[in-house]
Amino acid sequence: MQTGLGISLFALTAAFGSLALAQADAPAKLPSAQERFAACLACHGEGGRSQMPLTPSLAGQRSFYAITQLFLFREGRRSNPLMTAMAKGMSDDDMRAFSGLIAQLPPAPPSDGVGVDAQRMARGASLAEQYRCASCHGADYAGDKQVARLANQREDYLAQALSEFSQGKRLGYTPAMSEALAGMAPQALTDLAYYLANLPAIKP
């Protein structure tokens, strides 16, 4: 893909003499992080709001959370066939630039509650309270620093992430999450995912 872009830039500069002059000091101009970020959003969704199964929305995540996760993927401490392949070749500067771009994407609006199962929501809310999820993730589940935003994340992705943490398949930057889920039943994990994915507006 990069080669293709390289060739078309070359063709452009050859066609426009003035452009060639302007770019004289940067003859092998590579696509910027902003330009390459479009490839990320092909999976993570327009504006970072994912429409793709098991693929998280990135909108609303803090830059520190995003860079930590990119680092974990690159170092092989978090693994996923699609995302590990993306992170493998990233430089520290790439990770910084992508995380900065992620932090600028406004989060999706809260759920309007239409078609949402009130009983499951109540079960999820009481589990979240019992296990003190908000003590780290924030009263509005918007996350902070290295802690993930959870509010209105995709349900399938949340359920998978919780199941991986509880089985010790996803290790995390710290053991915070596996400790938080210790002893929790599988049904509780799916109720929590349902609750967080359908979260109504909550005042922090």
Q: Which residues bind ligand HEC (CB under 6 A)?
A: 39-40, 42-44, 54-56, 58, 66, 69-70, 78, 80, 82-83, 86, 98, 128, 131-133, 135-137, 146-148, 150, 153, 158, 161-162, 172-174, 176-177, 180-181, 192
Half-sphere exposure at residue 16, Cβ-oriented, CA atoms within 13 angstroms? 9
CB 105 within 8 A of CB 48: yes
For ligand HEC, the closer of residues 108 and 158 by Cβ is 158
Min CB(121)–ligand HEC separation in Å: 14
For ligand HEC, the closer of residues 105 and 150 by Cβ is 150
Min CB(127)–ligand HEC separation in Å: 7
For ligand HEC, the closer of residues 2 and 18 by Cβ is 2
Contacts of residue 145, Cβ cutoff 8 Å, sequence gap at least 6: 62, 64, 65
CB 62 within 8 A of CB 103: yes
Residue type, 84: T
Min CB(20)–ligand HEC separation in Å: 30
Min CB(187)–ligand HEC separation in Å: 13
**Burial letters 3-24, b for 16+ CB under 10 A, else e:** eeeeeebeeebeeeeeeeeeee
Min CB(92)–ligand HEC separation in Å: 13
For ligand HEC, the closer of residues 69 and 152 by Cβ is 69
Query: Which pair of tokens denotes residue 128?
Result: 């979240």
